[in-house]
Amino acid sequence: MAGVEEVRAGIAVANEKASAGIAALQQAAMALEEAQLSLSQATQGSQQHEINQAHGLLAEALNGITGMQSTIQAGISSADAYSSRL
């Protein structure tokens, strides 16, 4: 079994990678927000079902990203708590 310092170092690396994942998700969320804005501007006033569906799906994707970010952050917090008890 790995020593305490090796475990802590491994957790730190995992948390860094997880934090990078959160940052990547934030970039994706920003791109989706821009896509929503462009779609809204391009289709302003349209009541077509497909456009409403597209808006809804983009909003759903953004909500999913937010949920993933929260889940990843909770994982980081759990790993940190374990590391601090070592």
CA distance 36 to 43: 10
* Contact between 63 and 29 (Cβ < 8 Å): no
Interhelix angle 49-85/4-42, rounded to 10 degrees, is: 160
* Contact between 14 and 80 (Cβ < 8 Å): no
pLDDT at residue number 2? 79
11-29: pLDDT as tens digits: 999 999 999 999 999 999 9
Q: Taking the CB of residue 65, how many other CB atoms lie within 10 A of it?
A: 19
Whole-angstrom CA distances from 14 to 35, 58, 60, 68 are: 31, 30, 28, 16
pTM for this structure? 0.88
